A and B are shown apart, each in its own frame.
Chain A
Amino acid sequence: MANSDRKLFWGVHAQQPKWLKIILGTLPFVLLLIAYLWAADVRHTENPDDKLLPGISQMVEAMSPLMFEENRRSGTYVFWDDSLASLKRLAVGVGLAYLVALWIGMNMGVFSGMESMGGPFSTFIAMVPPLALLPILFITLGVDELAKVALIFIGAAPVMLRDIYLSTKALPREQLVKTLTLGGTDSAYVYRVVLPQLLPRSIDTLRLNLGAAWLFLIAAEAIASTNGLGYRIFLVRRYLAMDVIIPYVAWITLLGFTLDYLLRVFSRKIFPWYHGGGK
């Protein structure tokens, strides 16, 4: 029987039935969890008060007052307050960076005047390591919200801008010729021909840059802050409270994953043609 030769895992022609796909997908997670719990157990047998690898129950115990009890001093629910503050900064910083990158990147790709002016400058700016700018941002913009949002913007905008510029340049020149011969104007070409094609591509750009944006957010919050997910991690790091740090990192990962997922779903729904057909 040919079927018995069919490989399940190894080999370029291997095919996995659905049940195996699910098992394979969860396996690394389970292995990671087992490795963690084993290591935590070893350390706790040696030292019951060990802080480096807290058990699950310790994390629950540490997180529940942060999540479900009002903080005595500030009167807020710390965990949700932190999450909201961070998401706001991320949304404003990345949102502005996206709009600026899309608009300037697209125009640079179409108009050679814009290209000559913005090309060298955007390449130059993209090479500045944003984290190195952080002290300057804090001095010029203060320790309030503005400096944090500006860091995310400066970190994300040039990279997205260059990506969108390159995507615009990659559009076939025939489209421009056809638009103009059919009587279209310059701006009709930009906003009726180029922009619709760039939008789904720009959502991919946004998704790829969210990870970096999180990094800048956490870095800004670590330096001078009164709330936020990064603030809390660097605050409790002072006394090695891994029972708070690990759930916070897991939460940040989950938020990042969810944002990415939502953008993907949004893109599939609005631009089905971009994702290969009418599905």
Chain B
Amino acid sequence: MKISRKLLLAVAAFMLSSSALAANAFKVCWSHYTGWEPWQYAQDSGILKKWADKNGIKIDLTLVNDYIESVNLYTTGQFDACTMTNMDALTIPAAGGVDSTALIIGDYSNGNDGIVVRGGKTVADLKGRDILMVELSVSHYMLARALSLNGLSERDVKVINTSDADIAAAFAVQTKAAVVTWNPPLQQVRQQKGATLVFDSSKIPGEILDLMVVKTNADPRLKKALVGAWYETMKAMSGGGQTQRNAIAAMAKSAGGTEAEFNAQLTTTNMFYVPADAAKIALDPQLVKTMDTVRKFSFAKGLFGTNAKNVDAIGIEFPNAKILGDPKNIKLRFDLSITEQARDGKL
């Protein structure tokens, strides 16, 4: 009897302390992609811890090896923040009712995503071919954009859903097929014999955005710490000198490639190294147009789920108070306030 009471007290004390701890500890996830490698560096270099300490919190950064799994884990509530693209932020957490904020616009893909075909020279040559790609991903979105810009539609091709891990190997033997993929597999695919890049994301600049997304109701200290750590990391990787060399070397290693490969990928990634540049794209009216294209594509593919009756079901809010879709159901927000604080040096 005595023992069990002691045990009960101990358990209660443990639960109290862990919940008290939980209020100050936050979990953030990321996955491998050129534009997200800085997060690993932010952690290893101590920059992330420095900003967490400054805000009186703890940040637990986790690498989730499978990209889509990381977004799903964020959506189901395992993480407070996670890296993802603008399209996935809209179709997974926002469509799943998780009010999310695009806290950091890290970069846009400027050639990091591409369409490669063997024995063809233009997008028109895709007609009638098998297309290997991850269906319903940004690759699918880019294919739809490429086809429509060239007067074709998805009916003109046959899509084979192929895991991104196997795309490069599959393309090596599917001599008639074309692929749509992103870096690093894109780099391997392009190097194959007879392969031609017929379209890439630099033809639709600013449409594939890579973000750090956070729950809208998350603790403001977490938001400040993440933005602060990010721009300090950006400074390290672009500021020149030994610090930059170290940072690039560390990121190349974390990405699993050579420095030359990583630098090549950086040239097709339009990084926003300073908060002012990220603020500029967030305020550009083009962002609203892009999100309109993205949401129309997503709704047409059924990615909003069965609850959504029309394309306006989910509201998207922009910094200039412009709203797309239902203003009563805003689930994706582009919030500039903390980026502006970073820009003005007030973090």
A residues lining the B interface (CB < 8 Å): 47-52, 58, 61-62, 73, 135, 138-140, 142-143, 222-226, 231, 234-235, 237-241, 243
A225–B154 Cα distance when bound, in Å, is: 17
- Is chain B's interface secondary structure helix, strand, loop, or mixed overall? mixed
A49/B137 in contact, CB under 8 A? no
Q: A240 touching B72 by the CB < 8 A rule?
A: yes
Q: Which residues of B contact A49 (CB under 8 A)?
A: 95-98, 305, 307, 331
Question: Is the CB–CB distance between B163 and A222 below 8 Å?
Answer: yes
Report the bound CA distance from A58 to B306 in whole Å.
Answer: 7
B166 contacts A224, CB within 8 Å? Answer: yes
- Identity of the chain A residue whose Cβ is nearest the Cβ of B162 in the assembled complex: A224
B161 and A50 within 8 A (CB):
no
B5 within 8 A of A: no
Per-residue CB contact flags for chain B residues 161-188 toward chain A (1 = under 8 Å, else 0) read: 1110010011011100000000000000
- Nearest-neighbor residue (CB-CB) of B314 within chain A: A49
Q: Is B40 positioned at the interface, with any CB of A under 8 Å from its CB?
A: no
**How many Å from the CB of B148 to the closest CB on chain A?**
15
Instruction: Kindly name the residue among B158, B166, B331 whose own CB sees the greatest number of chain A CB atoms within 10 A.
Output: B166
Contact A139 B170 (CB under 8 A): yes
Chain B residues proximal to chain A, CB less than 8 Å: 68, 72, 75-76, 91-92, 95-98, 130, 132, 134-137, 154-155, 158-163, 166, 169-170, 172-174, 303, 305-307, 331
Contacts of B160 in A (CB 8 A): 143, 224-226
Complex CA–CA separation, A58 to B308 (angstroms): 12
Q: Which 6 A-B pairs have the closest CB atoms?
A: A49-B97, A51-B96, A224-B162, A62-B306, A47-B97, A61-B306
A48 to chain B, nearest CB (A): 6
CB-CB under 8 A from B161, the residues of chain A are 224-226, 231, 234-235
Tell me whether B132 and A224 are in contact (CB under 8 A): yes
Q: Which residues of the partner chain B approach A240 to less than 8 Å between Cβ atoms?
A: 72, 75-76, 92, 96
Q: Pick from B68, B96, B136, B155 the residue with the most CB of A within 10 Å.
A: B96
Contact partner of A139 (CB less than 8 A), chosen from B136, B154, B173, is: B173
A58 touches B307 (CB 8 A): yes
- How far is A61 from B306 in the complex, measured between Cα atoms in Å? 7
Residues of B within 8 A of A237 (CB): 68, 72
Q: Are the CB atoms of B162 and A223 closer together than 8 Å?
A: yes
Contact (Cβ within 8 A) A50 B306: no
Closest CB-CB distance, B86 to chain A, in whole Å?
14
Query: Which residues of A sit under 8 angstroms from B72, Cβ to Cβ?
Result: 237, 240
Given contacts A48-B97, A49-B98, A138-B169, 19 further A-B contacts (CB under 8 A): A47-B97, A52-B76, A73-B154, A73-B155, A139-B173, A223-B162, A223-B166, A224-B160, A224-B161, A224-B170, A226-B158, A226-B161, A238-B68, A238-B135, A239-B92, A239-B95, A239-B136, A241-B305, A243-B305
